Structure 1
Amino acid sequence: MDSQNKSNRQLQTAPCFSNPGQRADASPSVIVIGGGIAGLAAARALHDASFQVVVLESRDRIGGRIHTEYSFGFPVDLGASWLHGVCKENPLAMPLAPLIGRLGLPLYRTSGDNSVLYDHNLESYALFDMDGNQVPQDLVTKVGETFESILKETDIIRQEFSEDMSISCAISMVFDRRPDLRLDGIAHKVLQWYLCRMEGWFAADADTISLKCWDQEELLPGGHGLMVRGYRPVINTLAKGLDIRLSQRVTQVVRRYNGVKVTVEDGRTFVADAAVIAVPLGVLKSNRIKFEPRLPERKEAGINELGVGIENKIILHFEKVFWPNVEFLGLVAESSYECSYFLNLHKATGHNVLVYMPAGQLARDIEKLSDEDAANFAFKQLLRILPNATTPVQHLVSHWGTDVNSLGSYSYNTVGKPHEFYEWLKIPVDNIFFAGEAMSMDYPGSVHGAYSIGLMAAEDCRMRVLERYGEDAPVAVPLLISRM
């Protein structure tokens, strides 16, 4: 807090220039709106390129949808917690792998398969029915293979129909064509659990996920790795030395011929040569930030039509371990909405923690509850799996859907909307650049996607601004700051 107060004092005493013409010989300057990993990646790159950079973050912390909590006495991620694609091709891993090693940040590999369906190895699942009976592992594996066959059949349907449809609609058509793929009894319930896991990947219900676009993202090799000590050290390292202003909610961005003017809630304005907009898609959708002039129609269409899903975490801390030594505990049911799954952090981190992870409509319904009631709901699901479960001693609950700083977890393709929306969102508008997972056509909904687009936005911004200033631009003049 002391360092933030110091930053605020510097803000209030910084030189101000009322005449924009005086800025002709000033150093290149950029305002980055949003202190998540995309914004911090852009700010870090521009700062290291000798640009004058200020980051405006609406929260009282950095990280955005990366949020590592320490209230249990050890790190637990309430938001992003995986590195999808543990390999050198990963745009996040390439520049940060040596840093992650130096910081001693181990990854727990949950799967060697780069699959949407299996971000955990099949043998790491322990599934139970509503009566607490464990589903035989060979049945879990067999149903998983059936689910893969069903999805292959949906690909045939996708090629036959020019119009898009939802994943759930396509699966229904598969059952009409291939009755042999229909399952009943406990096998049907296990199939619903696999569908529930798929919905968790997109943070959305199957009846809203696009058949044409659901598998358009690029899946990097190397499997999926859980950040054992959380993402916070990565965020802190990116932020080190940057001028970050917390609790600064941006309300307006004005493009002008000679720069941008950004206004925050208390009326203060920041003026710079360019801006990088790195806020979540949900915030852009809410129109809480007004753009003048308006953004181009194609950009607005991308913002309005691309989907934002919700996946939350209800983190339960127990006094001792009473559950099987598997990575995932699952509850199978008649519908994906009724299914549940818990991530076992004890296997990966040694801490007595289970993480309940509702997505889609279930997540929205649970967000209407108090934290206490949400934790009780999760615990009741656990009691169905393990009737002798002991009461948790602590809990944490995320609210990504109702949090005004996120208004959703991450993006996905809704029915009938082209995958190119991701590309439309990324395109700069004059001297305003856009960054975030929702601008990543190859890696949407991922940390490495957000990070890579942050770097791209920074490079585009650097090149555009230096076209005006030239390569020998002076560096030392602070951003122009005023109060209306």
Structure 2
Amino acid sequence: MDSKELFSNNLLDGKIVPHVQREQDSLPSVIVIGGGISGVAAARTLYDASFKVILLESRDRLGGRIHTDYSFGCPVDLGASWLHGVCNENPLAPLIRGLGLTLYRTSGDNSVLYDHDLESYTLYDMDGHQVPQQMVIEVGETFKRILEETGKVRDEHTDDLSVLQAISIVLDRLPELRQEGLAHEVLQWYLCRLEAWFAADADMISLQSWDQASAEHVLSGGHGLMVQGYDPIIKALAKDIDIRLNHRVTKISSGCNKVMVTVEDGTSFVADAAILTVPLGILKAKFIEFEPKLPDWKVAAISDLGVGNENKIALRFDKVFWPNVEFLGVVAPNSYACGYFLNLHKATGHPVLVYMAAGRFAYDLEKLSNESTVDFVMSQLKKMFPDATEPVQYLVTRWGTDPNSLGSYSYDFVGMPEDVYERLRAPLGNLFFGGEAVSLENQGSVHGAYSAGVMAAENCQKLLLKKLGDIEMFPLGSIRGEILKDSVPLQISRM
């Protein structure tokens, strides 16, 4: 009888499993489930602390919702692409410095909500006419005032509302803030950008918590694009780790101080503990069976947090025909119809535009074929530039229906309980939880996912070493010390 069968049989009747022996080196063992940056960071932390660690990933690549594509002849991030908080306090800064990666700053400290400020942009209406920049600035100030007024609405309501409901209440109270004609379309474009930050529509976003990140947790430095993409960080963290790609986990069984993880082909892995870092969308879909079943409070936490969707359509051209600005926008009568192009040529020198779509619109685009999606995006572009050439290559993402993600990143849903993050992060015995969704202060961000993975690994270490009584034998791992030997400044540019 092999160890897998022994574990399975004894797990069912709750007996102690004396037959499942440690490996000859007697190292504590951990299975990390999910190969996004949170899972890879957890595995790195455990590996550096001399634990036995194996990482199981369902895809044929690492990175998860980080995916740097090189088919254009240059790096294009199809998932996460920004560093939110371009400063040395960002937990990813030592890795970025140590690897010599370059950041292209797209906003300053005053832009907490948007990836870009308004230093380098051009907006157009649906007929292709350029919107006067003074109007964009003035409407931007009005939108800021509207958002400030929603704080008063929040204070007056004990029950949560959506951000869109609050905006409607503000405009009813202060009709002078309403905009007409082209100015209304610009206001809708600002709302579109707010929705893109959460990857969700404004009628889904919680008024209670959308802007409640406390000042001490908001990193300085604005936002910066990873010029070489995020892939170098994933590769550095994954070095020497025992990684099994194409291993889709279907069941997690825990008990008797052991965890057994079963993958799609029936193979099982046994360890002292496991760290689960799969996307929240996968947990919501119940693609993984738990034995024993998850407690009701954990199931409720998974249900109470929202999952947004943001897709990218990357277009490579043979020549640049657009202005030398960081982004191009299309204003429209409602936020759903507004558009946004990121100009990678400005940041990287390559003739690439990336169209961004979020929320319901992102899901609707996924219903189209890749060709039809590109045709739609090009129709938007040709409204601005009638002589636009056809792309020589394109890439289309489908994060919302990707069976390995089922969404892009988490957001605070209307009516979300205050303790949802604590419940989502809380371990169940020797099963720990990571991923961007469990990060209270930095959910939806790469550095939040990274920190959550490190935290889960450190908590896992402490539990296992306490049980073993060997807490002095295995020092807590230090990713910074392993990869970063000398402190060098962040390389930041803005052309």
Is this a same-fold pair by TM over 0.5?
yes
**For residue 232 of structure 1, what is the aligned residue in structure 2?**
231
- Structure 2 CA distance for partners of 1:109 and 1:472, relative to 1, 3 Å: closer
Aligned equivalents of 2:454, 2:276: Cα separation in 1: 13
Aligned equivalents of 2:241, 2:429: Cα separation in 1: 25
Letter in 1 for 2:113: L
**For residue 63 of structure 2, what is the aligned residue in structure 1?**
63
SS in 2 for 1:235: helix
**For residue 484 of structure 2, what is the aligned residue in structure 1?**
none
Letter in 1 for 2:87: C
Matched, 1:168 2:164: yes
SS in 2 for 1:443: coil
Aligned equivalents of 1:293, 1:473: Cα separation in 2: 33
Matched, 1:309 2:308: yes
Matched, 1:380 2:376: no
Letter in 2 for 1:78: L
SS in 2 for 1:313: strand
Native 8 Å contact 1:39 1:278 kept in 2 = yes
Native 8 Å contact 2:4 2:269 kept in 1 = no
Unmatched segments (≥5 aa) in structure 2: 8-16, 475-495
Native 8 Å contact 2:315 2:393 kept in 1 = yes
SS in 2 for 1:55: strand
**For residue 141 of structure 1, what is the aligned residue in structure 2?**
137
TM-fit CA distance, 1:267: 0.4
TM-fit CA distance, 1:158: 0.3
Letter in 2 for 1:109: R
Native 8 Å contact 2:87 2:221 kept in 1 = yes
Which shows bigger deviation, 275-284 or 131-140? 131-140
SS in 2 for 1:126: strand
TM-fit CA distance, 1:112: 1.1
SS in 2 for 1:387: coil
**For residue 3 of structure 1, what is the aligned residue in structure 2?**
none
Q: What's the TM-score once normalised by structure 2's chain length?
A: 0.90
**For residue 177 of structure 1, what is the aligned residue in structure 2?**
173
**For residue 91 of structure 2, what is the aligned residue in structure 1?**
91
**For residue 188 of structure 1, what is the aligned residue in structure 2?**
184
TM-fit CA distance, 1:419: 4.1
Aligned equivalents of 2:466, 2:227: Cα separation in 1: 43
Aligned equivalents of 2:144, 2:171: Cα separation in 1: 14
Aligned equivalents of 2:96, 2:371: Cα separation in 1: 39
**For residue 361 of structure 2, what is the aligned residue in structure 1?**
362
Aligned equivalents of 1:408, 1:456: Cα separation in 2: 23
Aligned equivalents of 2:291, 2:4: Cα separation in 1: 23
Mapping of residues 335-346 of structure 1, within 5 Å: 335-346=334-345
Aligned equivalents of 1:16, 1:294: Cα separation in 2: 20
SS in 2 for 1:119: coil
Aligned equivalents of 2:133, 2:210: Cα separation in 1: 28
**For residue 10 of structure 1, what is the aligned residue in structure 2?**
none
Matched, 1:21 2:30: no
**For residue 73 of structure 1, what is the aligned residue in structure 2?**
73
Letter in 1 for 2:341: F
Aligned equivalents of 2:454, 2:117: Cα separation in 1: 32
Letter in 2 for 1:362: F
Aligned equivalents of 1:97, 1:343: Cα separation in 2: 22
Native 8 Å contact 1:76 1:230 kept in 2 = yes
What do residues 122-180 of structure 1 show as CA deviations (whole Å, max 9, x unaligned)?
12120000111111111111111111000000000000111111111100100110011
**For residue 482 of structure 1, what is the aligned residue in structure 2?**
none
Mapping of residues 290-439 of structure 1, within 5 Å: 290-439=289-438
**For residue 10 of structure 2, what is the aligned residue in structure 1?**
none
Aligned equivalents of 1:472, 1:128: Cα separation in 2: 61
TM-fit CA distance, 1:421: 1.2
SS in 1 for 2:18: helix
Aligned equivalents of 1:208, 1:183: Cα separation in 2: 23
Native 8 Å contact 1:114 1:220 kept in 2 = no
Unmatched segments (≥5 aa) in structure 1: 1-13, 476-484
Q: What's the TM-score once normalised by structure 1's chain length?
A: 0.92
Native 8 Å contact 1:28 1:473 kept in 2 = no
Letter in 2 for 1:63: G
Native 8 Å contact 2:146 2:177 kept in 1 = yes
TM-fit CA distance, 1:30: 0.1
TM-fit CA distance, 1:114: 5.0
Native 8 Å contact 2:107 2:222 kept in 1 = yes
Aligned equivalents of 1:461, 1:425: Cα separation in 2: 16
Matched, 1:120 2:116: yes
Letter in 2 for 1:185: G
**For residue 255 of structure 1, what is the aligned residue in structure 2?**
254
TM-fit CA distance, 1:272: 0.2
SS in 1 for 2:414: coil
Count of matched residue positions in the alignment of Structure 1 and Structure 2: 458
Letter in 2 for 1:82: W
What do residues 350-377 of structure 1 show as CA deviations (whole Å, max 9, x unaligned)?
0100000000011000001111111111
Native 8 Å contact 2:462 2:471 kept in 1 = no
Native 8 Å contact 1:27 1:473 kept in 2 = no
Counterpart among 89, 105, 111 of residue 107 in structure 2:
111
TM-fit CA distance, 1:15: 9.2
Aligned equivalents of 1:128, 1:199: Cα separation in 2: 19
SS in 2 for 1:358: strand
Letter in 2 for 1:323: W
Matched, 1:216 2:215: no
Native 8 Å contact 2:314 2:355 kept in 1 = yes
